[in-house]
Structure 1
Amino acid sequence: MKREDLNDMLWFLAVAEERSFTKAAAKLGTSQSTISHTIKKLEARMGLRLLTRTTRSVSPTEAGERLIRSLAPRITELESEIDELMEIRDKPSGTVRITLSDHALESVVWPKVRAVLKDYPDIRLELITDNGFRNIVEDRFDAGVRLGESIDKDMIAVRIGPDWRLVAVASPDYLASRPAPQTPQDLVSHDCINHRQSRSGGLYVWEFAKGKRELRVRVDGQLTFNTSYAMIDAAVSGYGIAYVPEDIAAREIASGHLVRVLDDWSPAFPGYYLYYPSRKQNSPAFKVVVEALRQT
């Protein structure tokens, strides 16, 4: 492969990752016209169309997706090798990219890393919120954060947070208008605030457990969000029952703006874990972040 081809493919990866010529150009420090011309030349040399272009978006074709799957792991390996060379410096440096949910960011990750980062000014940390599951290798993340029950077997998993649970909550005004549910099945006659899962696009099926009995309930209502924070606000405003992480609803519960229902049916989930490929050579900067997050 010619060096020119490799450079052009790196530009192609940038466009595919950003889904935009404009954003990729800004990231690479060049003009939109230059990067567009470069990709066209690459496609001409390969005899393949790599990107589908519309007036509003850019997305990889099937051939483009195959090229991404082939290139991304190799680029990651090269970046890892370069990061290892940085060990000769006095302080860890470089970029660490982590994908995680908004709840994991607010409740665990940001509180732990914000103080540590001041001691390592050469570390750049990207925390990308996405409530769906991402392929961290293909999407060029260094790590991701998930609940312990969701970690793939070929990944290294480091526990970073305690167990937590979801709780069903509603405002006193809402509960004054109808009887509170006594069992999860009673939710079908209530207005419930749904949570749409970002990656699959489906609605989260509420999971309950009591002793050895487990129930999954599909709920319905006027509102659907893809973030628990908006669900809490809607519940406080009287739009129905929300099923949200207990810790982020604690303030509204303590103030009386929200009331728990079905509390004895709310199960605990294994806490958050940081996960990353077992074959990856981790940079000093990544090791600093792992140690900052590790549950003690």
Structure 2
Amino acid sequence: MDKAKVLETRRLLAFIAVFEEGSFTAAAARMGMAQPALSIAISKLEAQLGTPLLIREPRGVKATAAGLLLSQRAYEIIGLIESTVEEVATVEQHPTGEVAIGLPSSTAAVLAIPLVERLAKTYPGIRLRLVESFSGYLWDWLLNGHIDIAVVFNQASRPEIISTPFAWEKMHLIGKALPGEANAPIEAGQLTGLPMVMPSRKQSFRDTIEHHIQKQGGTLDVQIEIDAGHQLIKLICSGRFYSILSPGSVAHEISTGQLQARPLAQPLERAICLAQRRLRHQATAVRCVTDELLSEARALIVAGVWDARIEAPLCT
């Protein structure tokens, strides 16, 4: 038990702040403490552990191998402390508290309303704050601690974030009136010359799409870049532009006949991931929201409402 005294909560929190910010100055501002006091706290932690945790560089700090290991353990320790405090305080009550969750526009189109209704019925004590944006922005907000959970695409876990794929969806050519035979797969070469509206390169999957099309002998004529889901769909509905999207992102427009979708002849899939901050993933309210999100997503996929699949793609 004596060794446990080394890892004081306040010093772990100080270390996490410096680790995430990459700067003592920024971490001190975040913690609301003087920089010298923060430096002393980290120095004492390093002295007690008997090893350097951070390397001071001209433009900030980076973690040593020992620091990276401590960061993983620190998230688990602080997360367990927070969830324990919350669970003890509410052991005889229903889960309460606010959970901030981010959904990409394409996912929100099919998941947002069913999820909100499900949570309101199952956990009325949880206050849900729902944020809709593109995957790249949600990932940044998750890293910065502005949201607790996010659905993102093709993102791997990091020391401060747990990211787990739970479904996969194929990308399609979307347009008001598509060239060629209806519902038939479209070759990459047929995309050349079509005026495209696409998310910006801030969304990492944009580059994946273009590289995939180029590899198959086609090119994308991207005339407009837009990181606003509803406006992007309006531009496609105008009939002047096409895009490469998942059918789920325009499920309503397809069902009402406003838009059409054709799969790519050389399929391209993206992983739909549930990402959570390690500091919050053990909190009771966050766990409840996570479980309900996954259950609702799977129910929508099984029912055919969400054009995605739960099984992992086969390795080739």
Q: Give TM class, smaller chain.
A: 0.5 to 0.7
Amino acid at match of 1:36: Q
Give the counterpart of 1:116 among 105, 116, 119: 119
Kindly indicate whether residue 65 of structure 2 is the aligned counterpart of residue 68 of structure 1. Answer: no
Contact 1:132 1:197 in 2 (8 A): no
Cα deviation, residue 245, structure 1? 2.7
* Residue pairs, 1:195-210, within 5 angstroms: 195=199, 196=201, 198=203, 202-204=207-209
Kindly indicate whether residue 160 of structure 2 is the aligned counterpart of residue 139 of structure 1. Answer: yes
Amino acid at match of 2:207: G
Partner of 1:285: 285
Cα deviation, residue 224, structure 1? 4.5
Distance 1:107 1:61 in 2: 40
Cα deviation, residue 92, structure 1? 1.5
Change (3 A) 1:26 1:37: closer
Partner of 1:90: 93
Cα deviation, residue 283, structure 1? 5.4
Partner of 1:13: 16
Contact 2:24 2:39 in 1 (8 A): no
CA deviation vs aligned residue, 1:132-182 (integer Å, no higher than 9, x gap): 41427x3255xx574425xxxxxxxxxxxxxx664322356xx7xxxx356
Contact 2:167 2:273 in 1 (8 A): yes
Kindly indicate whether residue 256 of structure 2 is the aligned counterpart of residue 235 of structure 1. Answer: no
Change (3 A) 1:220 1:291: closer
Give the counterpart of 1:192 among 186, 196, 212: 196
Distance 1:13 1:237 in 2: 48
Contact 1:92 1:284 in 2 (8 A): yes
Change (3 A) 1:95 1:15: farther
Amino acid at match of 1:135: S
CA RMSD, 1 decimal: 4.9
Distance 1:39 1:201 in 2: 40
CA deviation vs aligned residue, 1:6-48 (integer Å, no higher than 9, x gap): 41331231354466879866765x3xxx253333224544356
CA deviation vs aligned residue, 1:37-74 (integer Å, no higher than 9, x gap): 333224544356456675xxxx6514254542342233
Amino acid at match of 1:246: P
Normalising to structure 2: TM-score of the pair? 0.55
Change (3 A) 1:253 1:100: closer
Distance 1:94 1:269 in 2: 36
Distance 1:21 1:227 in 2: 35
Distance 1:5 1:191 in 2: 58
Cα deviation, residue 288, structure 1? 3.5
Change (3 A) 1:40 1:271: closer
Partner of 2:137: none
Partner of 1:148: 167
Partner of 1:260: 260
* Residue pairs, 1:240-251, within 5 angstroms: 240-251=241-252
Cα deviation, residue 203, structure 1? 2.9
Cα deviation, residue 190, structure 1? 2.9
Aligned length: 255
Normalising to structure 1: TM-score of the pair? 0.58
Gapped regions of structure 1 (runs ≥ 5)? 150-163, 209-214
Cα deviation, residue 265, structure 1? 5.6
Amino acid at match of 2:247: E
Distance 1:129 1:98 in 2: 8
Distance 2:261 2:93 in 1: 54
Distance 2:57 2:100 in 1: 27
Distance 1:86 1:53 in 2: 45
Distance 1:115 1:245 in 2: 24
Distance 2:113 2:55 in 1: 37
Give the counterpart of 2:175 among 153, 170, 192: 170
Distance 1:217 1:78 in 2: 54
CA deviation vs aligned residue, 1:179-225 (integer Å, no higher than 9, x gap): x35632311343434454745783325989xxxxxx96764223445
Contact 1:171 1:259 in 2 (8 A): yes
Partner of 2:221: 221
